[in-house]
Amino acid sequence: MHGLEIPAIFVLLILIVILLCVPQRQRATAAKEYVSVAALLLFFHRFGEDIIAVIVMAGAFCVGHLGKTGSLCSACLLVFIGFVVWAAKKDFRENREIRGGSVSAFNARVETYVRAGRTREKAIEITTRIRDGK
């Protein structure tokens, strides 16, 4: 074992304190979030050094074959692709909500188009086409 070992009783005491600080209706959600964060931290505590070592070795390999500029461009391209995928998923989810009849999603999309410089009438027309599936 490496690093600081935390007895299980302290983990349970922290969970109890957190649950006492949260309103009763939100306790199930708070417990799920606490367990998720604890599992993620435990994973990184156990495997963090190995993950960082693999990332450093992969980075050294890329720099060796592509050079510093090529490696930087490749990393930026991967980040850009990640943002594009995230934005596309968000857009698909919002379009599904608009087609489902959500007034708040409809109004939010209209406001987005208005902020982008379109007239309100044109924004409503475009969002109506999305809602109608045309």
**Worst-scoring range by mean pLDDT, 9-23, 98-112, 113-127?**
9-23
In this prediction, residue 80 has a pLDDT band, given cuts at 50, 70 and 90, of: very high
Tell me the C-alpha distance between 92 and 84, whole Å.
12
> Taking the complete model, does pTM exceed 0.85, yes or no?
no
pLDDT at site 54: 92
Nearest to 45 by CA among 1, 7, 14: 1
| CB distance 105 to 119 below 8 Å | no
pLDDT at site 84: 97
In this prediction, residue 113 has a pLDDT band, given cuts at 50, 70 and 90, of: very high
pLDDT at site 3: 54
- In angstroms, how far apart are the furthest CA atoms of the chain? 65
